[in-house]
Amino acid sequence: MRCLLLIIAAQLAVPLVYSQPDYFATDLQYGNYPVGFKTIFTYDLSRHAVAEQNDNEKQGRFMQINIWYPAKKTNAVPLKFGKYIDLLPQQSGKITRDVETLAEKQFFNNTAELKGDTVLLRKHFNALAKSKTKAFSNAPVANGSFPLVMFSDYPNSQSILCEYLASHGYIVVSAPVKGTYATAFEYSIGGIESGISDLQFALSIVRKEFQVKQSFTVMGLGIGATVALGLQMRNPDVAGMISLEGGITTGFEFNLIRQSPYFNNERINKPMLVIHAPHPDVKPELTDAYKYTDRWLVNILQSSEFYFLNYGIWESAMPGILGKAPGDTKASFEAAANYVLHFLSTIYKHERFSPLTIDQKIAITVYKESVPVPPDFHELIALAERQGVAVIEKLYNERREKDSEAIPFSSFYRVAEHFIVQKNFSIGAEWTALFAKAFPSSAVPWFMSGRCQLELNNKIAAKEFYEKALALLPGDVMLEEAEKNAYRPAIEKRIRELSS
């Protein structure tokens, strides 16, 4: 009887041995390259240390730069996931003691901040940390020059996507997001600018360490997508931009990036992949403002922001890890990853992007074509002086079919101001007439037209234009109240002078 009980107990124990979940099981088709992983600890000597850095590490801003890359074949043992976790407490200085303890604590804190189930995570933590990844630590780099993707986040959060891209021949570089003066990120324009500086520094390092192509793609999730957009505006080497949910599709960050001294809508002119999921604060239509770039909007219907990180795959092994799942987060993660790879491929092969064949219960894709970037201030002046305003008016009328604001208000104003300052009132009169045609409800072009006609001694026309400006002034949406108050006495003075 005792032997029978032992046999039954052994048989019951067998399923327990094989019930260990695979935390990294996916249906993603990995590429032909083994994946290498390398962390570079260095300092940005051009910037100051953050508050958490040790006293003996105050010689600059400590930088942890994590890099996934195509590697040569190796007989080494794959990296265990716990090594990614161990990097968490080493964002502000390399720690040599109690790394695993500190890392585990921060890993749980980070999950808690995402409203994750830390009790559930505790049950799985040891097995998760001991799980093998697809990366090999410091493996030899494969031969060749590879396209670069910049994706700032914690390595333990984004490793699945980064390994997937590296297996297909991309180098993925990441610097953990930090604040300006402390480790904690600041949700402000200062925080965004610090994030951009971190990416630019990481770019300089990876270009020294690896053979990468000159152009690169930048990707981010949440506020990281806004940081990515900021970098795209100031670095012409950016070939495309990817937003993995949140960030640029929320009103707060849409307005935040406009506070940047580098903000220029006309510089947002590289292809953009916008992945988003249902959420009351997410408004993908906000990206319509970026009309000078081709946009592919992919609505992942059964996901939400943080499932685009590793949690999207972990949900299968740890159901409820971020609370009640919005649907099939594994299939959603895989759809997003495949779209990222597809987008990158079209960018670097100079091919036309086309939607993938994915169940429409998982993903729906919308394409929005760019409109031509208008000539800048200097180009408009040169064109007006060489070929005349009529040429610009023809170009303006052609482009208005696709773009109701084919030349921005600010460009019209700056060109008009230039000709008035230069006392070239003949061209100024033609230009301000086109300005008034483009923005007939604004007082500004009529005011500037009045000035040009006055200087050309066309007093009747000048008075007519000034009166038009005065009538439009109260309802002019292009002007702040203080600006209206400044314009009003100037206009009234001109009308009195021309009436006497």
pLDDT of residue 394: 94
Instruction: Report residue 291's pLDDT band, with 50, 70 and 90 as the boundaries.
Output: very high
Instruction: Report residue 15's pLDDT band, with 50, 70 and 90 as the boundaries.
Output: very low
Question: pLDDT at residue 4 above 80?
Answer: no
52 three-state secondary structure: coil
Which domains does the chain possess?
A: 21-368 (3.40.50.1820), 377-499 (1.25.40.10)
Question: pLDDT at residue 346 above 80?
Answer: yes
CB contact at 8 A, 62 and 40: no
The Cα–Cα gap between 127 and 388 comes to: 73
Q: In Å, what is the CA distance from 462 to each residue of 54, 102, 499? A: 69, 74, 11
Average confidence (pLDDT) over 326-342: 96
Q: What DSSP letter does each residue of 264-294 carry, written as one string?
A: -GGG--S-EEEEE---TTB-GGGGGG-TTS-
Question: Sheet holding 363-368: strands in order across?
Answer: 135-137, 35-44, 61-70, 171-174, 146-151, 212-220, 238-244, 272-276, 295-300, 363-368
pLDDT of residue 452: 96
Q: To the nearest whole percent, how much of the chain has pLDDT over 70?
A: 95
Q: Are strands 61-70 and 171-174 parallel, antiparallel or unpaired?
A: antiparallel
The Cα–Cα gap between 86 and 95 comes to: 10
Q: In Å, what is the CA distance from 58 to each residue of 25, 43, 52? A: 42, 9, 10
Instruction: Report residue 19's pLDDT band, with 50, 70 and 90 as the boundaries.
Output: low
Instruction: Report residue 158's pLDDT band, with 50, 70 and 90 as the boundaries.
Output: very high
Q: Taking the model in full, what pTM does it have?
A: 0.85
Instruction: Report residue 53's pLDDT band, with 50, 70 and 90 as the boundaries.
Output: confident
The Cα–Cα gap between 247 and 83 comes to: 29
Q: What is the pLDDT of residues 416-469, one digit of tens each?
A: 999 999 999 999 999 999 999 999 999 999 999 999 999 999 999 999 999 999
Average confidence (pLDDT) over 17-31: 84
Instruction: Report residue 183's pLDDT band, with 50, 70 and 90 as the boundaries.
Output: confident
pLDDT of residue 7: 44
| Mean pLDDT over each residue of the chain, to the nearest integer | 91
Nearest alpha carbon to residue 139 among 216, 62, 210, 82: 210
What residues contact residue 296 under an 8 Å CB cut-off, 6+ apart? 271, 272, 273, 274, 339, 343, 353, 355, 365, 366, 367, 368
Distance of CA 260 to the CA centre of its chain: 14
Average confidence (pLDDT) over 470-488: 94
Q: To the nearest whole percent, how much of the chain has pLDDT over 90?
A: 80
Nearest alpha carbon to residue 362 among 288, 307, 282: 307
pLDDT of residue 349: 86
Backbone torsion region of residue 410, taken as left when φ is above 0, otherwise alpha when ψ lies between -120 and 50, otherwise beta: alpha
Instruction: Report residue 17's pLDDT band, with 50, 70 and 90 as the boundaries.
Output: very low
Question: pLDDT at residue 13 above 50?
Answer: no
In one-letter notation, the amino acid at residue 17 is: V
Q: Which helix (H) or strand (E) holds 471?
A: helix 459-472
CB burial readout 233-243, b (16+ within 10 A) else e: bebeebbbbbb
Q: Are strands 363-368 and 295-300 parallel, antiparallel or unpaired?
A: antiparallel
Question: pLDDT at residue 497 above 50?
Answer: yes
pLDDT of residue 253: 93
pLDDT of residue 363: 93
pLDDT of residue 57: 65
The Cα–Cα gap between 261 and 407 comes to: 21
